[in-house]
Chains A and B, each alone.
Chain A
Amino acid sequence: MKVCVLLRLVPDLVEELEISENEVVPFQYIPNERDEHAIEEAIVLKEKLKDVTLDVVGIADPDSADEIDEGLGFAAAKGADKLYKVILNRQTFSRVEIAKALADFLNDRGYSLILTGVQAIDSFAGSLGGALARFLNLPYIGGAVELNLNEKLYVKKELEGGISAEYRLPLPAVVGVLSAERPLSFVPFTKLRQAMKRAEIEEVELEVPKISGVELVRYETPPEPDVLMLEGDVEEVADRIVEVLRDISVI
């Protein structure tokens, strides 16, 4: 069975973002956390089923194309069999446009299961998984936290407030992964280096179609928070927190 996972880089939000009216420029990129979970879950499936081959498709814009290599290296070190690097010919915030481009690439490659992460942190115009499934004419389910295969695919999907539900669907299908069923496995640096040396990455360029209907008016910085800042060095901050705890009668 052929499984494919999409991997993408997103802005590292722990670092500063440069926000102007028509652009958000990150300081650096990191692999999308949900995609890392999708890769982990694919590895779990591989372990459960044995006959799985896993392709990981790294997706990048022309100007961040090199940075995806390390992410693909991690995937290889964890057990991915084949690596692709898809370079989109233009940047877009529209997930529907990305979905259309990817559908053209993924169609007819014989994947039984296509995994994406759910909701990248920088998304605001659509969610990729469902749109991709529609363009490929496949069933879709998102919010997956556990996958099992027994002729059909069994998906544990998280709803809200700690409640989950189990669903069954036929393959091929597209599934949006929220978290893997186990913590992300750790890849030591030496193993990553070996994997990156060994890895062959097939490069593909994709044209992103224009689908109209959503227009960016502007980006804005959110308003300053209305919060009382407890300033000072660690000693002073601790004292002020103690004061607050007293004021609200916690101590």
Chain B
Amino acid sequence: MKVLVVGETVNGEVQNITYELVSCAKKLGDYVTLIMSDADVSSIDGRVIKVNAGEPNPVYYKIVERVIELEKPDLIVFGNTSIGVDLSSQLSTNFPIATRVYNVKSSKNLKEVEVRSMAYGGKVVVVLKLRLPAIVVINAGSYDAGEGMGKASVEELELKYFDIDDVEFLRYIKPEVEDVDISKADVVVSVGRGIGDEANIELAEKLANLLDGVVAGSRPIVDQGWLPKTRQVGKSGKTVTGKLYIALGISGATEHTEGIKAKNVIAVNTDKSAPIFRISRFGAIADVTELLPVLIDKIREIREK
């Protein structure tokens, strides 16, 4: 099987997902990686086609389309990222597509491929068969980036008479300046929609104080304005890497768990089938609004001793 990896760069830097995709492609057969900027691609393993188009842009689906015509891959793999979804969805009118994929089964048969996808916020695994040539959109964290690193053999490709002016990239907008950097904190107390009420954020703050940690949250908490954007954990937020992550009333959607790389995770949730338990070392089925006051008192007692 021949695989086309659609790599990603931001601000001239190859993104980690690119290596993960290469690692996936390697397991399936022959592969080539497409990079659409002037980034340094030397550590991508294998053949790299470089089209120096510029910063990430949804309209580059037209470039991918051209490269598909040239390379005739059986499978085209994208990352399940902001730009990966823009590009792949615009090509899905021409190719069968599976999204949120975490596993692609290699197949000798060049007619179809079987993939596994994690849908319904992580509560259901979907097994799909795609007729080739097809598109798969792969979740970050599904493959080992290290295996996609190596030595590149780069071919520059110039696309002449090519018009891509529909969507213009204007500028990057850097994250807001932050009071604390949750990605560097050792202990993170994180709240999700299960916290119920804005007033309950204070409970999380008390617990965080007692543990010398910081408060973070899931996207809905940030969307509602209960916590600043700099405190969001997940795909479009930050990745936490410390010693402990306490997830309070967080369901554990893959978009959230992508941002959890802490050594220990304790999850508290009323739903015993919440996907968050799958990435946790310790779990408790409890109402966080009942548990927190009790837990805070107990820890305070110990601290005061």
Contacts and interface: CB of A to CB of B under 8 A. Distances in A.
B173 A143 contact: no
B277 interface: yes
Secondary structure at the A interface, as helix, strand, loop or mixed, is mixed
Given A13-B121, A183-B224, A96 B128 contact: no
Interface string B267-305: 110010101011111111111001100110011001100
A141 B91 CA distance: 13
Interface residues of B, number: 102
A187 interface: no
A133 B167 CA distance: 13
Nearest to B135: A126
Contacts of B166: 139, 169-170
Kindly name the residue among B81, B87, B229, B294 whose own CB sees the greatest number of chain A CB atoms within 10 A.
Answer: B294
A128 interface: yes
Secondary structure at the B interface, as helix, strand, loop or mixed, is mixed
B98 A124 contact: yes
Interface of B: 10-11, 15, 55-59, 61, 81-83, 85-93, 95-100, 114, 117-131, 134, 137, 166-175, 187, 210-211, 219-220, 223-225, 229-230, 232, 235-239, 243-244, 251, 253, 263-264, 266-268, 271, 273, 275, 277-287, 290-291, 294-295, 298-299, 302-303
Given A166-B173, A215-B130, A217-B129, 10 more contacts: A100-B93, A121-B253, A124-B100, A133-B90, A140-B86, A160-B235, A166-B169, A170-B166, A229-B283, A242-B302
15 contacts: A17-B123, A19-B123, A121-B253, A124-B99, A129-B89, A160-B10, A167-B170, A168-B168, A179-B223, A213-B131, A226-B278, A229-B284, A238-B298, A251-B211, A251-B299
